[in-house]
Amino acid sequence: MTFLGNLLFAPILTIFLILSSLLLFTQLLNIPNDLLAQALDYFTHLWHAILKTGSNDWIITFAHPGKIFLVTIPIVLLFVLTHRKIKTHNARVIALTIILGLSIFGLVGYQKLYVETKKHKICYQDKLTIEHTPDRKLIIIDNGFFAQKKTAEKTVAFEIKPYLTKTYGQIPIAEIKLLHAAPGSFAAAKELCSTCTVHKVSLPYFADKLSTFGVKKYFELQEILQEKNIAFERYAKKFEN
């Protein structure tokens, strides 16, 4: 992905830096720069429009295959680049392409044959359960875990999501079960729905009146559910964890 990123973004970043630098120097030297300003403004709007077409589905992630696999890759690359018989540019490109293909094949195989077939369940302080069921569904059950956090969004971004990526790779979340109606739970569900592939969010009916902040977070969650076309289900009673 680094190679593709450099190939796509390096030319665009170069154009942006050239235009912005020319605009700065012409402004300092009192040289008319209306055309440069218009060109930079047009280019910026164009770039924003391109970024809006992005999707989380474009991101390909794999579960952590283990340290041995990760250490083996650079060792093999070093061997290829220093081998006496692999001297020409074309030979090195072919060898590196083969290594890349084998690495991806190994990661995909590990994902399909081991990660997606393994039953796994972990609990955070008896308040959050992350379960990969035998029928290959990833379910997250929040029993007040996110409600205890000052910033639920950061907890998702820096704790939960890295764990999900490292453990499960690109497995979509089949369901997020919120057992309590709390602003932190709504915020965490919204963050997960914004950055991950989620199929359904479940919430039991609640009689307690939400605070103004809680109502705001609830409707923010509803907006992202509608935007991402994610199913939303209500229940008459709380889930059993």
185 closest CA partner among 217, 224, 139: 217
Contacts of 220 (CB under 8 A, 6+ apart): 186, 187, 190
Quick check: 20 pLDDT over 80?
A: yes
Quick check: 150 pLDDT over 80?
A: yes
pTM of the model: 0.66
Quick check: 240 pLDDT over 50?
A: no
At residue 185 the predicted structure's pLDDT band, cuts being 50, 70 and 90, is very high
Average pLDDT of the residues in 26-49: 86
| H/E segment holding residue 71 | helix 67-82
Mean of the per-residue pLDDT values of the chain:
83
Which amino acid is present at 53? Answer: T
Output the pLDDT for position 109: 84
Average pLDDT of the residues in 227-237: 85
152-177 pLDDT, tens per residue? 999 999 988 888 888 888 778 999 99
Output the pLDDT for position 6: 64
119-149 pLDDT, tens per residue? 677 777 778 988 888 777 889 999 989 988 8
Average pLDDT of the residues in 60-81: 84
